[in-house]
Structure 1
Amino acid sequence: MGFGCVFSNRGPTATEPNLIRFAQTAESLGFDTIWLSDHILVPTEVKSFYPYHPTGQMPFVPSEPYWEPLTVMSYLAACAKRVRLGTSVLILPYRNPVVTAKVLATLDMLSHGRVTLGVGVGWMEEEFKALGLDTFAQRGTYSDECIRIFRELWTKENPSFAGQFYQFAGIKCEPKPAQRGGIPIWVGGHTPQAIRRAARLGDGWQPIVQRPPADLPPEELRGKIADLRAQAQAAGRDPHAITLSLGASIQFTTGSGSGAQPLFNGPPQQIIESIQRYQEVGVQDFRLDFPSPSFDGLLQGMERFAAEVRPNVRG
């Protein structure tokens, strides 16, 4: 059972001192992974529907800094010696997949095999256009091709590829990642297309609990996991080899925890019970963020989780 923590690499949290403190805290408390998100730029006018907010409006301000996650991970690799480093998620169509494969393999070598690559297809059409990309309508197909290119470059001595968007042959691409078989690729998203991508191409699947307009309850997730595993088996893959990683926001509050208390909100015992409910349907890894108006409050949430919750859940 893995428990990771999300560092907000955007907005006022994104400073070098905060990054160092966060990494040191995550390591000392025994968290397994530090997770980072991804946007290259944010247009000042966005009409695209943001899928993780009830209003469909993106929750971040375009003028705020948004640190590039792979660069941050390279910094973390030097100042954190144990914890794994992951993206949740890296938006695949924004980067050339051959260059990205090279960057990730180098990062995996420098971190001694600590990279997990969470991937997504993107949702903001305006960002695609601002980057000069015409692949928004084909972003799913494009992302599938990126994943296949990563596998080819990371595992083959003489890689070659003939796809819709990229073709190459007669090349070498070294170094390979430190992790045997390549960097684990976990697919983000809840849609049927994302589940199909995870089943056919992924090493893991990364849904999120707080999925507006309603949470993703364990009962619904159970059905999605069954669908994922059935599709993996149909594709000739071991369905139980796909890691199930769930994203959730942890908020410690007082009260009895009765009534319509949101999942993962409440006193420690209620958060423990939320984790256990998802463990029962097959979740093996949790990506946790600790919302707080202050950075110190975020660290305190991590400390409280490590002291009062994690010792009381199996795994």
Structure 2
Amino acid sequence: MQIGFSAPTAGPLASADNLTRLAAGAEQLGYHYATFSDHVVIPTDIKARYPYSETGEFSTAGNGERNEQLIELAFVAACTSKLRLVTSVMVVPHRPAVLAAKQLATIDVLSGGRVTLGIGAGWMKEEFEAIDAPDFDKRGRVTDEYVAAFRELWDKEHPKFSGEFVKFDNITFAPKPVQKGGIPIWVGGESGPALRRTARLGDAWYPIGSNPAFPLDSLARFRAGADKLRKLAAEAGRDPRSIGLALRFPRYGAALPDKAGDGERRLFSGAAPAIAGDIKALAALGVGAIDLSFGGDTVAAMLEQMKRFTGDVMAKV
């Protein structure tokens, strides 16, 4: 089981010195990957509903000071030697397809093949409009087409593409990603469209367990989602076993209710032995990666939480 942590992209902990210390410390503790969120700007008046809170409110909307995702990814790559770098998630329509493919390939080369591309179609219409991204209402189609363009650019010696949103031909695209088969693509999201996108395009499904509209807060609910994905993959002509499973938990521990919405045990609630049992059960379902958000106002406090998790929970797995 790969275990990851959420790297700060905003606030004091996202400074160069703090990121360097945090990434190096996480690597020493044995964490396998760091995740990085994606907001180019934070509009001051957000009417769009945030999918991962009961109220729909984006809780960090007031903090507009954020690092750009891919530049921070490259910075942390230079601070580490083994830690994988996961976009969690990259909002695909935020960046022109060819440019994003080039940036990701470059980071993959310079990091020695440590990039994983977590993708999403986006939810904040106001941010799309502020950065002149493609039409928000077409974001799903844009995302699918951009991903197909990424694959073409990364895989083909003489890439060419003619779609609704992306067109290129007669270009040289180098360097290619160094990872065999290209940069792995984890598809974020919990909805039907996200599952269908994973079944058609993804190397792994990468949902968050706390979406109130599509809850994956119990083992039974997650198993049902994974079963649906496998059925969709088979219908798309893919081997369901070729698609991995990863899962993100923004919160864990005794502060969570011990019951999920379906009355079953809530995943990652309670004490360390119970959480270790959840990890074992998820691994038995085929989950290969889990990442969490660790609190703390300082690097030392955050690393202490991470150390405690590895000692109290992972030691029991």
Tell me, yes or no, whether TM beats 0.5: yes
Could you tell me the TM-score, scaled by structure 2's length? 0.93
Per the alignment, residue 218 of structure 1 pairs with 219
Per the alignment, residue 6 of structure 2 pairs with 6
Q: Offset at 1:129?
A: 0.9
Q: Offset at 1:211?
A: 2.2
Q: Offset at 1:233?
A: 1.5
Give the 5 Å matches for 1:115-134.
115-134=115-134
**SS of structure 2 residue aligned to 1:176:** coil
Deviations 1:24-52 (A, max 9, x none): 11110111111100000011000000000
Tell me which stretches of 4 or more aligned residues in structure 1 moved more than 6 Å: 257-261
Per the alignment, residue 229 of structure 1 pairs with 230
Q: Answer yes or no: is the 8 Å Cα contact 2:217–2:266 preserved in 1.
A: no
Q: Distance in 2 between matches of 1:238 and 1:86?
A: 24
Q: Answer yes or no: is the 8 Å Cα contact 2:13–2:299 preserved in 1.
A: yes
Identical columns (%) = 42
Q: Offset at 1:299?
A: 1.6
Is 1:281–2:285 an aligned residue pair? Answer: yes
AA aligned to 2:302 is L
Per the alignment, residue 274 of structure 2 pairs with 270
Per the alignment, residue 36 of structure 1 pairs with 36
Per the alignment, residue 242 of structure 1 pairs with 243
AA aligned to 1:218 is L
Tell me which moved more, 31-40 or 213-222. 213-222
Q: Offset at 1:258?
A: 6.8
**SS of structure 2 residue aligned to 1:266:** coil
- Gaps in structure 1 of 5+ consecutive residues: none
Q: Offset at 1:146?
A: 0.7
Tell me which moved more, 52-61 or 230-239. 230-239
Q: Answer yes or no: is the 8 Å Cα contact 1:246–1:283 preserved in 2.
A: yes
Is 1:304–2:305 an aligned residue pair? Answer: no
Q: Distance in 1 between matches of 2:292 and 2:168?
A: 39
Could you tell me the TM-score, scaled by structure 1's length? 0.93
Q: Answer yes or no: is the 8 Å Cα contact 1:14–1:65 preserved in 2.
A: no
Q: Offset at 1:18?
A: 1.6
Is 1:192–2:192 an aligned residue pair? Answer: yes
**SS of structure 1 residue aligned to 2:46:** coil
Per the alignment, residue 72 of structure 2 pairs with 72
Q: Once superposed, what is the RMSD of the aligned Cα atoms?
A: 2.0
Cα distance change on mapping 1:6 and 1:258 into 2, 3 Å: closer
Q: Offset at 1:253?
A: 4.3
Q: Offset at 1:301?
A: 1.3
**SS of structure 2 residue aligned to 1:13:** helix
Q: Offset at 1:259?
A: 7.0
**SS of structure 1 residue aligned to 2:172:** coil
**SS of structure 2 residue aligned to 1:265:** coil
AA aligned to 1:120 is G
Q: Distance in 2 between matches of 1:31 and 1:41?
A: 29
Q: Distance in 1 between matches of 2:228 and 2:302?
A: 35
Q: Offset at 1:297?
A: 2.8
AA aligned to 1:97 is A
Q: Offset at 1:293?
A: 5.0
Deviations 1:74-113 (A, max 9, x none): 1111110011111110000010010110111111000000
Deviations 1:218-272 (A, max 9, x none): 1111111111111112222121111100001354449xx9778853233211221
Cα distance change on mapping 1:264 and 1:291 into 2, 3 Å: farther
Tell me which moved more, 220-229 or 43-52. 220-229
Q: Answer yes or no: is the 8 Å Cα contact 1:11–1:64 preserved in 2.
A: no
Tell me which moved more, 213-222 or 166-175. 213-222
Q: Distance in 1 between matches of 2:286 and 2:77?
A: 30
Number of matched residues?
312
Cα distance change on mapping 1:233 and 1:259 into 2, 3 Å: closer
Cα distance change on mapping 1:264 and 1:292 into 2, 3 Å: farther
Q: Distance in 1 between matches of 2:98 and 2:250?
A: 34
Q: Distance in 1 between matches of 2:13 and 2:56?
A: 23
Cα distance change on mapping 1:80 and 1:219 into 2, 3 Å: same
- Gaps in structure 2 of 5+ consecutive residues: none
Q: Distance in 2 between matches of 1:203 and 1:258?
A: 32
